[in-house]
Amino acid sequence: MATLVVELDGRTLRFGEPRLIRIGRSIDADVLLTAPSVSRVHAELRPVEDGWVLVDSGSQFGTFVEGARVHEQRIDRPTRVQCGPPARGSTFSVAVEQVAPAAPPTPVPVPSSAPPPTAPHPPPPQWGAPSDRLAAGPPGQPAPPALEHTQVLSLPRDTVGLPGARSGPDLLVVAQGREHRFRHPAQLRIGRAPDCEVVVDAPVVSRLHGLVAAVPGGWTFTDQSAEGSFDQGRRVRTTRFDERLDLRLGHPVAGPPLSLVPILSAAEEERRFARRRRNRVLVVVGAVVAVLALVAASAVTAVLLTRDGTGGVAGGGSSSSLDVLSSAELDSAKAATVLLIGETDDQGPYAGSGSIIRSDGLILTNAHVAQPTAEGLEENYGEVGRDDPDYLLVALVEGDDEPAAPEYRARPVQVDGVADAAVLEIYADADGNEVDTGTLDLPTMPIGDSGSLASGDDVTVLGFPGISGSTRLTVTTGVVSTFIDVDGLGPRSEIDTDARIAPGNSGGAAINNDAEIIGIPSALFDDGTSNVVSGRIRAIDAVRDLIEAAEAG
């Protein structure tokens, strides 16, 4: 008999009986994917007379096998499936495993005088009891081994909850490659103790490390440990969440990860999107009111400044201009920030960031994103560890700061490995069809002047760091700490900043308060204790010649 084997996120799912297997982001899916770009009902694995067929269920961003979009694909060999654009929680592997039929058991004769054996009644279930751990055996016998990284689908799923009306999203908990599902409302304990609903067996995890409790509309996490729980390096005491929360237990970097993912129904998600649309309208209205108020205040100030006929303020003193990055300028910079996705035949996909600097499709990024084998990279920054991709997919930002499906292909036209900078040019759509770049009208970010910067000036960093699997654009702010002279690149060619920079930010934009690019986020500075203490930005003046050469063709 053939068994269908699905592997994702370090877990192995086995389906022994032929039945319809649902794939998607709904908590009721048999193969549950958590990436935001995955549809709630994305695809199906359907049994046929002599095997299995993968069928797309009309998903928004499509289903891909070996880079090609498919609507129906027969599974006759090990196959890697990508649901939507590449992101953590969007891929799985599927294969058919032939299992030889087991020999029928030899019946054991029972004396006619003996009463027929009866099975003992199982103990009643406990609220929140995990279903993917086997119970201990009879007294005096060792407990059976734990099911590590394997979910046996013949066991009931962990979806028990507390009595009461459902008033919030259900919850998916992923820890040590295993998933646990809970219906809202529920209460669960997380820790090293074997009686916890979610057991995380690691030395840095306390026996009772944290508590998760349902509240109307969402969930709360409360830390109970001495070592702490950390969200993006910051210690968490008590936090309410209704969207994905990724924590590290016991240590901000080396602690085992714990993902808490609320799963909404389709109606709930539609209501959430509607609220976000209303909020965006309110933000725009608020911005207009603020601009009108600023204009009025400026007019009053102008009257006061000219009242004595000399341009001075009555009573002495001086005035200064307010230099801040407005929400409109930030939105414009976001629109010109792109997610870049590269892939090689044997090393899988990787992602970076870029900035559109010309409306016909020129994109500024890092050399280690565009051409990882570029001359000068390894000598100055160490081996990147991947081959050059044939092209990079380009995904623009859409609503809620999320990248849309990849729309274009781009390839490098100028690369400088020593400066770790490159300029890409869009040449085709995502399917490889040639694009007339003269018809493109893409949003752009203007090039600034890093030479005018001073220590203490504001800096804003944009990019797609892929924090805890998220694909959203991130914006972090800080100040210029100092400038570094890099051999071969000249004075002030590197900017040191306290703005948080993660690996996926590579190639994004560092902008000033006029929303002009003053540098490219390129590297992290580590103090040797695994704590990142500053970010390094390649100053835009050091790569200006590269940009001008790309613009000149």
For the chain, what is the radius of gyration of the CA atoms?
28
Cα torsion 172, 175, 177, 182: sign: negative
127: number of CA atoms within 13 Å, CB side? Answer: 12
Q: Is the pLDDT of residue 186 over 50?
A: yes
Q: What is the 3-state secondary structure (H, E, C) of 375-394?
A: CCHHHHHCCCCCCCCCCEEE
Beta strands 2-8 and 91-98, pairing class: antiparallel
User: How far is it, in rounded angstroms, from Cα 118 to Cα 187?
Assistant: 35
H or E, element range at 3: strand 2-8
Which pLDDT tens digit goes with each residue over 430-454? 989 999 988 898 999 999 999 999 9
Does the pLDDT at position 105 exceed 50?
A: yes
For residue 346, the model assigns a pLDDT of 67
pLDDT above 90 (res 311): no
State whether the Cα torsion 82-62-370-411 is positive or negative: positive
More confident residue, 534 or 157: 534
Residue 318 has pLDDT above 70, yes or no: no
pLDDT value for 270: 52
- The answer to whether 482 touches 455, Cβ cutoff 8 Å, is yes
Of the candidates 80, 128, 34, the residue with the CA atom closest to the CA atom of residue 470? 34
Report helix, strand or coil for 212. Answer: strand
Q: Judge whether residue 372 has pLDDT over 70.
A: yes
Residue 307 has pLDDT above 70, yes or no: no
In this model, does residue 496 exceed pLDDT 80?
yes
Scan for tokens 């050399």, then name that residue.
367
What angle, 0 to 180 degrees and rounded to 10, lies between the N-to-C axes of helices 266-305 and 327-335?
Answer: 130
Tokens of 10: 């370090």
Q: Using CA atoms, how far apart are residues 414 and 310, in angstroms rounded to an integer?
A: 54
* β-sheet bridge partners, residue 434: 428
Dist. CA 507–CA 270, nearest whole Å: 34
Cis-peptide, bond into residue 185, ω within 30° of zero: yes
Question: What is the dihedral sign for C-alpha 198, 201, 205, 206?
Answer: positive
For the segment 198-234, what is each residue's pLDDT rounded down to a tens digit?
999 998 899 999 999 988 888 999 999 988 999 888 8
pTM of the model: 0.45
pLDDT, the chain, mean: 77
Neighbouring-strand partners of residue 362: 358, 425
Q: What is the pLDDT of residue 296?
A: 65
**pLDDT above 70 as % of the chain:** 71
d(CA 384, CA 370): 12
Q: Where do the H-state alpha helices sit in 168-315?
A: 266-305
| Span 530-544, pLDDT tens digits | 454 567 899 999 999
In contact, 422 and 506? CB cutoff 8 Å: no
| Res 317 pLDDT > 60 | no
Spatial separation of the C-alpha atoms in residues 403 and 462, rounded to whole Å:
13
Lowest mean pLDDT among 128-142, 391-405, 495-509: 128-142
Highest average pLDDT, of 152-166, 208-222, 265-279, comes from 208-222
